[in-house]
Structure 1
Amino acid sequence: MPLMTAQQALNLAMDRHRAGQFAEAETIYRQLHALHPDNVDIIHLLGIVAGDTRRYPESIEWMKRSIAAQPQVARYRSNYGVILLDCGELEESASQLETARQLQPGNADIHFNLGNTRSRQKEWEPAMDAYRQALQLNPRYLKAWLNLGMALHSANRPEEAIAMYQEARRVLPFEYSLAANLGNLLGAQCRLDEAIEAYQAAVELAPQSFVTLNNLAILLKDRGEIAESLNVLRQSLAVEANADVHSNLIFNLHFDPDAAPSAIEEEKRLWNAHFAVPLRSARLPHVRDRSPERRLRVGYVSADLRNHVVGRTLLPIFEAHDPTQVECVCYASGQTDAVSQRFQAKAHLWRDMEHWSDDQLTEQIRTDGIDILVDLSLHTAYHRLTVFARRPAPVQVSWLGYPGSTGVETIDHWLTDRFLSPPDLDLPENADGPIRLPDAWCCYPAPESSPEVTDLPSARTGQITFGCFNNFSKINERVLQLWARILQGVPDSRLILLLKTGAHREKTLEAIQRHGIAAERLVFHDYEPASLERSASHFLQRYAQVDIALDPFPYNGMTTTCDALWMGVPVIALRGTLGISRASFSLLANLGLPEYAVASEDEYCETAVALAGDRDRLAHLRGTLRDRVMRSPLLDPARFARHLEAAYREMWGDWCRSQD
């Protein structure tokens, strides 16, 4: 290296390394190592750059050499701990970082790194202790504030996490990520106005952050401001094309009563063009045993294989799978709970994909030899559609996130039923590989501990009570207008809604009053965040106050519809054209009650008013609906599993024949 000293060369290499120019940095490190083979700092830097390029076995060997030469250097052990964390060696990572902390207790980075490892181990108290020690040493340590808040949230201490982020914002008022995380926590605690205020502050600090804009849009949707939510998402996409943001736009369009099916299909087409088509070169041929009747290996991909509506719905079907027909592999992420543990117990393989890149997950699916890969998210949060766009499995299908298709060219099929997607209904998505299951599109996971069905509340009070416990994002001006007509048609009746706190409550009251309904006839129940203390029984008890449930549109209830029927409460629905607008129709038809899912707004109002006036019919439904559900296909996961396996077999046979 003429005209440059060894120290100058090392400084240059480290500059390249910090700039992310790993190959250039490594070349210089190796040249220096050849000249100075006993220089331990250079050996250690070679370990770091190997780790930065995910060559973990090589990185570990370099790290071990540097620590063996100088075991008392704390930063060597700290950096080694980070590499071990990156490759999943959590116990050894913690051991190295604990030793580093003892060697150099005044180093905030070491405490921070230890907190990260303890968090990955889900050891929340030690993690929080480490982050707090980092902050004592450096009160302006942004990442330590952020990770401490996430650890508190993961430890089910949300109010402490909120207070901590508020304190952090006073220390670092111009850090948008603190405002954004505060908004996330406030939103999770159903404090929508405060959450939106926090996110608006984050957007002011970072107007180009697509993540911040995306999350603000989610909160606006939750407050029922669908048009505003869509505008924010389009603003974000104008800044930068992003698959997750574009997916959120597609999903949110399903809530917009003015969005034509063709507009949704166009956005799906654009998503495919921007994010799937460029990955065509990443698709490799599949070598499989093409025996049409052999046992199939089916992979389920979801961040929601836990106590989440998707996980709870799939679990009884998953447990009913015939192991002689399908071998199930789960690709999951998120917290571990009783539901995820049951999935793990039944799965042939369980893969935690939370920290995997798309390329890593794609390679693992290919290595696992998956025949049929099932997307359980569609365009909802935390999907992995850009993995499906790489086609890691020969047959790919979407299901369960919501009734509909993704529009992704590598997803061959989507599961539906004849009520959601009648063959004679001319819609673009119906040409996109629908597989119609014989009964319903899914089952109902009836809670194991359900309250008993009560007598009609109107028999006790003399007053008909309507109710809707769906997310407020499904309730729009047209829905409120029809509900006002129903209340006008049933004098002295009232309507119960389940709402988070926020300005949308006052707007809802104003809207219903504009249609001539007194404010006292509208009753708000607080929407409570899910917690370990609140069981499904706690939520279902609300139906003891409801005579008739009113379904929203265009996005119908699904689990909420089933909950009402399970508790003896009939549901009046307005069926539309898209699957999400026919979900309640499918459920009611499977109970032999299709007449309560009507085709027009006038019929919707007339049916609700007529049923309210027929107390004998209401009492009969109250006493028989749970039995109807129990005897229906909705509560027969074994029957559903056989139909699902037959659908998988049909898909597999089609693929095998296509390869001949």
Structure 2
Amino acid sequence: MRAFGRDRGMCAWDDFAQSSIDARLALAGARSGQIPPFLMLSVPGMSARDHRVCSELWTRDRLAASGAERSRLDFRFDLGVRDKLRVGYLSNDFHDHATAHLLIEALEANDRTRCELHAFSFGADDGGTMRGRLSRAFDVFHDITALSDSDAATAVHAAAIDILVDLKGFTRGARTGILMLHPAPVQVNFLGYPGTLGRDICDYMITDAFITPPSAAADYAESFAYMPHSYQPHGRASLGPPPARGDVGLPESGFVFCCFNQAYKFTPDVFDIWCRLLAESPDSLLWLLASDQAQGNLRGEALRRGVSPDRLVFAPELDQKAHLRRLQLADLVLDTAPYGAHTTASDALWAGVPILTCAGDTLASRVAGSLLHAVGLSELIASDEADYVAVALTLAAEPDLLQAAKARLRRNRLVAPLFDAPAFARSLEDLYAQMWDRWRRGVGHAAIWAAATPPR
């Protein structure tokens, strides 16, 4: 199963079909811990139920092994009335990271009379601007980097955290072992990982009705905690004027298809579609995020599909401010499948660039659709592959239609709930209050819905 690791990031696809078959066989054989759940998200043909099976196989042995330590710690919780809830956020991304950029304005908008926010950080302090903002946004900032899982869980419990929110899931550097010890009475899966963590880890998943409709409940171990619009926060960072096309390596003319997703999300089928779009839109180009590992392979794959490698333009990594400025030069962002755009999608929409997606049945495939709904552009959610191609070709061939979509996006983004961090914070606080109320009353966890807050 080589393509689950290094080969996916390199877009080395010779064994791609076989690796997908191997993944299905591993799940069917119930082999514990064979496939990291995060890597399974980008394997075509997997359902949300498959993702749950993968997560539970991945954690099965670790959960069993944690039982003795959980019993030894024997955490007890105070169910008394609170003036305000203590909410802890667990992550190693409290620095210049996509999760921090998404969440920072909602944290800063927290009503401190309702929630006292604690960070539990197990990542390095880079001394950067974002680290400083995060330190100020939280009421208390705990550095648990040097602590074992047991000691970290004890620190969470000692801080009397009512609701512990995990921002990592199964992404790089995650410490789900802390969650397995249940140091808080309510534990929540949010934002960092687009899928279920499996049984006996988190009680709730913060979500929305597009990415996880109620009919999908059996595919997730957590109960759904529904935000009224998209589950993803995004602030209103200053954009600034776009640079000249030549300054970022783009030719002076030509339609710019764009995808700044990481290369491991690309599949041969998706790249087939993109090359078809380039072939049928002669003056177009495809703007991708630079990758030392993948660029040569992608140019070779384009050539094999009859497209000149020169029509792929690679953009280097930039800081968030510079990235948002250049992103405004794209004409249409193309989503990937089955693992679609998340932060890159909301960044594009804030920059005024429409995104075209085709939603599947997994959470990872439906985020861009959720964002488009929240910003009033649901017509850019294609019904199938043929519709995706047709919409892309139409927008590339008809400038008036594209400009109309961009104009509507520019109007909507200033009033849409997607970019209203204070309203998002109020809805999040509403969910936390409901979670705590259910816990105090001893009625267990179940699907809950936050009240919508009027846009500012």
Q: Normalising to structure 1: TM-score of the pair?
A: 0.60
* Letter aligned with residue 265 of structure 1: R
Please report how far the alpha carbon of residue 408 of structure 1 lies from its aligned counterpart in structure 2 after TM superposition.
Answer: 4.1
CA deviation profile, 1:359-416 (whole Å, cap 9, x unmatched)? 1101111111111001000101121211100000110001011332211413111111
* SS of the residue 1:414 aligns to: strand
Structure-2 residue corresponding to 1:355: 146
Please report how far the alpha carbon of residue 453 of structure 1 lies from its aligned counterpart in structure 2 after TM superposition.
Answer: 9.3
Given that 2:100 and 2:130 are in contact with CA atoms closer than 8 Å, whether structure 1 keeps it comes out as: yes
Given that 2:52 and 2:197 are in contact with CA atoms closer than 8 Å, whether structure 1 keeps it comes out as: no
Please report how far the alpha carbon of residue 294 of structure 1 lies from its aligned counterpart in structure 2 after TM superposition.
Answer: 3.8
1:257 maps onto 2:41 in alignment:
no
Structure-2 residue corresponding to 1:550: 334
Please report how far the alpha carbon of residue 265 of structure 1 lies from its aligned counterpart in structure 2 after TM superposition.
Answer: 2.0
Pair 538,348 (structure 1): closer, same or farther in 2 beyond 3 Å: closer
- Among 323, 326, 344, which residue is 2:115 paired with? 326
* Letter aligned with residue 369 of structure 1: A
Please report how far the alpha carbon of residue 426 of structure 1 lies from its aligned counterpart in structure 2 after TM superposition.
Answer: 6.6
* SS of the residue 2:215 aligns to: coil
Please report how far the alpha carbon of residue 319 of structure 1 lies from its aligned counterpart in structure 2 after TM superposition.
Answer: 1.0
- Among 207, 231, 242, which residue is 1:441 paired with? 231
Please report how far the alpha carbon of residue 225 of structure 1 lies from its aligned counterpart in structure 2 after TM superposition.
Answer: 4.6
Structure-2 residue corresponding to 1:407: 198
Given that 1:321 and 1:638 are in contact with CA atoms closer than 8 Å, whether structure 2 keeps it comes out as: yes
1:525 maps onto 2:289 in alignment:
no
Pair 352,408 (structure 1): closer, same or farther in 2 beyond 3 Å: farther
Pair 218,339 (structure 1): closer, same or farther in 2 beyond 3 Å: farther
- CA distance, structure 2, for counterparts of residue 426 and residue 350 of structure 1: 34
Structure-1 residue corresponding to 2:248: none
Given that 1:376 and 1:401 are in contact with CA atoms closer than 8 Å, whether structure 2 keeps it comes out as: yes
Pair 280,612 (structure 1): closer, same or farther in 2 beyond 3 Å: same
Pair 247,583 (structure 1): closer, same or farther in 2 beyond 3 Å: farther
Structure-2 residue corresponding to 1:583: 367
Given that 1:453 and 1:622 are in contact with CA atoms closer than 8 Å, whether structure 2 keeps it comes out as: no
* SS of the residue 1:438 aligns to: coil
Please report how far the alpha carbon of residue 613 of structure 1 lies from its aligned counterpart in structure 2 after TM superposition.
Answer: 2.2
Pair 405,225 (structure 1): closer, same or farther in 2 beyond 3 Å: farther
Given that 1:451 and 1:540 are in contact with CA atoms closer than 8 Å, whether structure 2 keeps it comes out as: no
Pair 286,447 (structure 1): closer, same or farther in 2 beyond 3 Å: same
Please report how far the alpha carbon of residue 576 of structure 1 lies from its aligned counterpart in structure 2 after TM superposition.
Answer: 0.7
* Letter aligned with residue 116 of structure 2: E
- Among 297, 300, 304, which residue is 1:507 paired with? 297
Aligned pair count? 424
CA deviation profile, 1:460-514 (whole Å, cap 9, x unmatched)? 9663221111111111101111112222332332222222123x32332332333
Pair 277,589 (structure 1): closer, same or farther in 2 beyond 3 Å: same
1:341 maps onto 2:125 in alignment:
no
Given that 2:239 and 2:351 are in contact with CA atoms closer than 8 Å, whether structure 1 keeps it comes out as: no
- Among 235, 239, 257, which residue is 1:466 paired with? 257
- Among 150, 154, 164, which residue is 1:373 paired with? 164
* Letter aligned with residue 51 of structure 2: I
1:540 maps onto 2:324 in alignment:
yes
Please report how far the alpha carbon of residue 524 of structure 1 lies from its aligned counterpart in structure 2 after TM superposition.
Answer: 2.5
CA deviation profile, 1:61-117 (whole Å, cap 9, x unmatched)? xxxxxxxxxxxxxxxxxxxxxxxxxxxxxxxxxxxxxxxxxxxxxxxxxxxxxxxxx
- CA distance, structure 1, for counterparts of residue 253 and residue 136 of structure 2: 50
* Letter aligned with residue 505 of structure 1: Q
Please report how far the alpha carbon of residue 278 of structure 1 lies from its aligned counterpart in structure 2 after TM superposition.
Answer: 2.7
Structure-2 residue corresponding to 1:308: 97
* SS of the residue 2:36 aligns to: helix
- CA distance, structure 1, for counterparts of residue 35 and residue 191 of structure 2: 17
* Letter aligned with residue 381 of structure 1: R
Pair 449,571 (structure 1): closer, same or farther in 2 beyond 3 Å: closer
* SS of the residue 2:257 aligns to: strand
1:629 maps onto 2:413 in alignment:
yes
Please report how far the alpha carbon of residue 354 of structure 1 lies from its aligned counterpart in structure 2 after TM superposition.
Answer: 0.9
Given that 2:163 and 2:184 are in contact with CA atoms closer than 8 Å, whether structure 1 keeps it comes out as: yes
- CA distance, structure 1, for counterparts of residue 140 and residue 299 of structure 2: 51
- CA distance, structure 2, for counterparts of residue 637 and residue 392 of structure 1: 29
Q: Provide structure 1 residue ranges, at least 5 long, that are not aligned to the other structure.
A: 1-212, 239-244, 529-533
> Percent identity at matched positions?
28
Given that 1:276 and 1:408 are in contact with CA atoms closer than 8 Å, whether structure 2 keeps it comes out as: no
Task: Give RMSD over aligned pairs.
Answer: 3.0
- CA distance, structure 2, for counterparts of residue 519 and residue 634 of structure 1: 37
- CA distance, structure 1, for counterparts of residue 108 and residue 377 of structure 2: 29
Pair 315,541 (structure 1): closer, same or farther in 2 beyond 3 Å: closer
CA deviation profile, 1:161-199 (whole Å, cap 9, x unmatched)? xxxxxxxxxxxxxxxxxxxxxxxxxxxxxxxxxxxxxxx
Greater relative contact order (Cα 8 A, min sep 6): structure 1 or 2?
A: 2
1:274 maps onto 2:61 in alignment:
yes
Structure-1 residue corresponding to 2:448: none
* SS of the residue 2:206 aligns to: strand
- CA distance, structure 1, for counterparts of residue 440 and residue 292 of structure 2: 54
- CA distance, structure 2, for counterparts of residue 223 and residue 517 of structure 1: 19
* Letter aligned with residue 607 of structure 1: V
Q: How do 1:36-75 and structure 2 match up within 5 A?
A: none
- CA distance, structure 1, for counterparts of residue 237 and residue 12 of structure 2: 32
